Chain A
């Protein structure tokens, strides 16, 4: 097998191997070091719970759907507003200068600290979580778009100018394509943050969503169930990230971040 093909296959071999190693270490630490099953349940107990989940999907599917909806809707708001605000601030220099201190101040606030406020304002339902998810995802998207709008290469602008392109043509042939990789960079960070926002929101209030299931399992000291829900959440995060990543691969196949990684 030549080197290049091996490099392509490598992640597909290494990932399952690493997973197996992790489970083995996990199992060993529960048996050899006799860690309490309340702290670290053995892998088979977690697998047992996951098996129950798959037999009775109605115990968790509703919750998963709620978390998914909160995340996606919040992310959707963040995407629309983030792109709009980022594009406007990127284009209107004085406006960006005027609001920069405020943006920086808002950005450094640990936003999860605001979650209890949102729960008070918008109730224990889905709304408060959607808003939290949106706010968390908004900043990386907005800042990336702002950077992207300003990062159009002057040489490319000159080409459009020398060809007498009008504003719409310059936007559709140049600015749009040039900014898209930045939008996706913001989206990839944003989707993960949106999920975090939704889950932390569920921790703090309400009685639905996977975050709520985590809290319930914790209160019942049901460690295997806690682990199983965390694995479900990981799966959800994975699913969302790769959905965004998949759209990116479809939309900007020409970009460096999409090129097949091959060591040549």
Chain B
């Protein structure tokens, strides 16, 4: 059974001033433990697509299924299914009044997990994402990369089957970003989670993904799906290889045609 399924998804946003056809005829099947990257021009609906997967936006038409179960029953969200999804937003959105460990353990607190277990899990995750020694720090004391790592750890705290990431490294500098890419790869391998990553960086997509979904704008639709054959774990110098550059060039070409 596929982990995630989008069948004939349409999304139309209606406001007083404009009607936007954000997504049309989206059919996508994501297998378990697969790493999917979604790229496209800005405004092509990639964030909307991710938010539909997360259950934050209800599609106008079509079905979203996680492990065969529909995310929506009429207008009602199936919370049990949503509980299996972990989301990382573009902005880390950490709560400044909580320490790193309390931020990471917030989802567990909401689920009624006891304090001791929460703390143990938070420490475990700090080790995983490289925040050991910062458990008691407040978010304002962290660098941008560390904040985003905290947000990733928070999304991982309840062991979601699926990790949805919306341009999580968009605000980071190039070097931090490369390091975060490596870490994301090892986190995905360690947690065996299915990952959907929205990004505007072609290199990031090719480096991390098993398959790359390219969206075309107005209305947002799937233009192509590219399989990336490189074995894992992938090293950073992969980006200098001709095969890597060929895939990146092809994607760049397709993106330029949309512009």
B106–A163 CB distance below 8 A: yes
Q: Kindly identify which residue among A158, A173, A178, A256 contacts B106, using a CB–CB cutoff of 8 Å.
A: A173
A161–B96 CB distance below 8 A: no
Q: Which chain A residues lie closer than 8 Å to B134 at the CB level?
A: none
A156 with B95: in contact, given A163-B110, A164-B79 (CB under 8 Å)? yes
Query: Interface centre among A162, A180, A255, A259, by most B CB within 10 Å?
Result: A162
**A32-70 interface mask toward B, CB cutoff 8 Å, 1 = contact, 0 = none?**
000000000000000000000000000000000000000
Judge if A230 is at the interface, Cβ distance under 8 Å.
Answer: no
A162–B97 CB distance below 8 A: no
Q: Which chain B residues lie closer than 8 Å to A174 at the CB level?
A: 95
**A166-193 interface mask toward B, CB cutoff 8 Å, 1 = contact, 0 = none?**
0001000110011010000000000000
Q: Which chain B residues lie closer than 8 Å to A178 at the CB level?
A: 97
* A200–B85 alpha-carbon span in the complex (Å): 60
Judge if A252 is at the interface, Cβ distance under 8 Å.
Answer: yes
Q: Kindly identify which residue among B89, B95, B107, B138 contacts A177, using a CB–CB cutoff of 8 Å.
A: B95
Residue of B nearest to A176 (CB): B97
Q: How many residue pairs bridge A and B at CB < 8 Å?
A: 48
Judge if A153 is at the interface, Cβ distance under 8 Å.
Answer: yes
The interface on chain B, measured as residues whose beta carbon lies within 8 A of the other chain's beta carbons, has a size of 21
Query: Interface centre among A158, A252, A256, by most B CB within 10 Å?
Result: A158
Query: Interface centre among A153, A158, A159, by most B CB within 10 Å?
Result: A159
Chain B proximity of A164: nearest CB distance (Å): 5
**A249-261 interface mask toward B, CB cutoff 8 Å, 1 = contact, 0 = none?**
0001011100100
Chain A proximity of B114: nearest CB distance (Å): 16
* A180–B95 alpha-carbon span in the complex (Å): 13
Judge if B223 is at the interface, Cβ distance under 8 Å.
Answer: no
Judge if A155 is at the interface, Cβ distance under 8 Å.
Answer: yes
Q: Which chain A residues lie closer than 8 Å to B93 at the CB level?
A: 153, 155-156, 158-159
Q: Which chain B residues lie closer than 8 Å to A252 at the CB level?
A: 97
* A178–B98 alpha-carbon span in the complex (Å): 11
A163 with B107: in contact, given A156-B95, A255-B96 (CB under 8 Å)? yes
B87–A169 CB distance below 8 A: no
Residue of B nearest to A162 (CB): B87
Chain A proximity of B55: nearest CB distance (Å): 8
Query: Interface centre among B83, B96, B140, by most A CB within 10 Å?
Result: B96
Interface residues of B in 188-223 (CB under 8 A from A): none
Q: Nearest 3 CB-CB pairs, A to B?
A: A177-B97, A155-B93, A162-B87
A/B interface sample: 5 pairs, CB < 8 A: A162-B85, A169-B110, A173-B109, A254-B98, A255-B97
